[in-house]
Amino acid sequence: MKDKRSPSQLEALWKEDDMVDGEKVRAMVVIMRTNGCCWVKHGGCTMCGYREASLREVSEDDLGKQLEQALSKYKDEPFVKIYTSGSFLDDNEIPPAVRERILDAFSGCKRILFESRPEFITTESVAGLPKNVTVALGLESSNPDVLETSVHKGFTPDDIRRAGLLLKENGLGVRTYLLLKPPFMTEAMAIRDAVQSARFADEFSDEISINPLNVQRATYVERLWKRGEFRSPWIWSLVDVFRQLSGTVDSRLMSSPSGGGAMRGVHNCGKCDRDLLDAIERFSFNQDPRELDVSCGCISKWHAYMESENLLGSPADLDRDFENELTLRE
Ligand code: SF4
Ligand SMILES: [Zn+2]
């Protein structure tokens, strides 16, 4: 039987559109298998299913083979994104020699992006990075209480701010991820939190990517969701966040929701989901808020949903209780 979890195989690789210097270009996305995020042994974040994607014994040799596979598929795309289900700057995931090889291999592309927790972003680690690097920072929320109790992130918003400013001082790019609707929040709270967090992140970001919470398997959030105590955000909420922010921040606003339109991901009534997700994709590229002018009758249901949440003072999944539609679009 083929070993699907071989440490010398990439987890995934695909091509998609993204932006470099204000231009839409092709990007190669590489998901590497590594020893996994250092934070997982402290329980990990409440919504993160990455522990499923990481292994325990990935050697330098294995990582070298994964790099060769990526290079065999590389067709001179100007943008390369390398995800490790953790931190690219963590030596335990990507040893320095391998990191150097990867950065060298893609030194000719205009932009290379990877993610890192802020504790690995130091004066020393940043000094050696080539200038085509953008670091993606998972801020999630600028509210320290939300980060601590709702996301269990293990760092503070100020840790991210320090890392972001250090990257900017060194001439590197910053893409900041925000989480729309961490657990225990109503839709209205989630919208406010995302808007405030984006204003906080704008100081040190080139791009702000809003990630609506997608319920991943074997996570704390999945347990809440199965009990009807969590509903993934409405697409209207994401649209509202963009409308409030549009024209008021310098960073490019973007979102490419995973699981969009499914019960586990950001969703509306089912009829308008695709149109709205397409509109959000167009907005992410051109920043034109008129793209978001899509209409559907379910917007009144979204308003009613938020009013009910406020009256009940609860973020429980009211949709599910009233309509029991869990199995329809999972
Ligand atoms: S969200 Fe990021 S920091 Fe949190 S456990 Fe997952 S990989 Fe680690
Ligand atoms: Zn609708």
Instruction: Check residue 91 and give its pLDDT.
Output: 96
- The residue-averaged pLDDT of 11-30 equals 97
The fourth-level CATH superfamily of domain 12-323 is Aldolase class I (3.20.20.70)
Instruction: Check residue 52 and give its pLDDT.
Output: 63
How many Å lie between the centroid of ligand 1 and the Cα of residue 52? 12
How many Å lie between the centroid of ligand 2 and the Cα of residue 51? 34
Q: Mutation test of ligand 1: which of 39, 137, 147, 176 has the most ligand atoms closer than 8 Å to its C-beta?
A: 39
- The residue-averaged pLDDT of 52-60 equals 78
Instruction: Decide whether any atom of ligand 1 lies within 6 Å of the 86 Cβ.
Output: yes
How many Å lie between the centroid of ligand 2 and the Cα of residue 247? 26
> Binning pLDDT at 50, 70 and 90, where does residue 198 land?
very high
Q: Whose CA is nearest to atom 8 of ligand 1?
A: 37
Instruction: Decide whether any atom of ligand 1 lies within 6 Å of the 138 Cβ.
Output: yes
Instruction: Check residue 328 and give its pLDDT.
Output: 46
Instruction: Decide whether any atom of ligand 1 lies within 6 Å of the 48 Cβ.
Output: yes
- The residue-averaged pLDDT of 32-57 equals 86
CA-closest candidate to residue 82, choices 55, 108, 54, 116: 116
Instruction: Check residue 37 and give its pLDDT.
Output: 95
What single-letter DSSP state applies at residue 133?
A: E
Instruction: Decide whether any atom of ligand 1 lies within 6 Å of the 260 Cβ.
Output: no
How many Å lie between the centroid of ligand 1 and the Cα of residue 181? 16
Instruction: Please state, in angstroms and rounded to a whole number, the distance separating the CA atoms of residues 234 and 181.
Output: 10
Q: For the stretch 38-63, what's the b/e string if a residue is b when 16 or more beta carbons lie within 10 angstroms of its beta carbon? A: bbbeeebbbbbbbbebbeeebeeebb
In the sheet that holds 79-83, the strands lie side by side as 12-20, 23-31, 79-83, 111-115, 133-140, 173-180, 207-212, 252-254
Instruction: Check residue 330 and give its pLDDT.
Output: 56
Q: Specify the higher pLDDT residue, 1 or 221.
A: 221
How many Å lie between the centroid of ligand 1 and the Cα of residue 37? 6
Beta bridge mates, 42: none
Instruction: Decide whether any atom of ligand 1 lies within 6 Å of the 37 Cβ.
Output: yes
CA-closest candidate to residue 207, choices 166, 172, 233, 239: 172
- Asked if pLDDT for residue 85 goes beyond 90, the answer is no
Instruction: Decide whether any atom of ligand 1 lies within 6 Å of the 117 Cβ.
Output: yes
* Structure-token pair, residue 81: 């994104």
Q: For the chain, first and last CA: distance in Å? A: 30
User: Which ligand 1 atom is the nearest neighbour of the CA of 85?
Assistant: 7
Instruction: Decide whether any atom of ligand 1 lies within 6 Å of the 88 Cβ.
Output: no
Q: What is the pLDDT of residues 172-189, one digit of tens each?
A: 999 999 999 999 999 999
CA distance to 105, 110, 162, 164, 209, per residue, from 201 (Å): 31, 24, 11, 9, 10
Instruction: Please state, in angstroms and rounded to a whole number, the distance separating the CA atoms of residues 137 and 177.
Output: 6
Q: Whose CA is nearest to atom 6 of ligand 1?
A: 48
Instruction: Please state, in angstroms and rounded to a whole number, the distance separating the CA atoms of residues 75 and 106.
Output: 11
Q: Whose CA is nearest to atom 7 of ligand 1?
A: 86
Domain ranges for the chain: 12-323
* Bridging pattern class, strands 12-20 and 207-212: unpaired
> Binning pLDDT at 50, 70 and 90, where does residue 20 land?
very high
pTM score > 0.85 for this model? yes
Q: What is the pLDDT of residues 296-313, one digit of tens each?
A: 999 999 999 999 998 988
Q: What is the pLDDT of residues 243-265, one digit of tens each?
A: 999 999 999 999 999 999 999 99
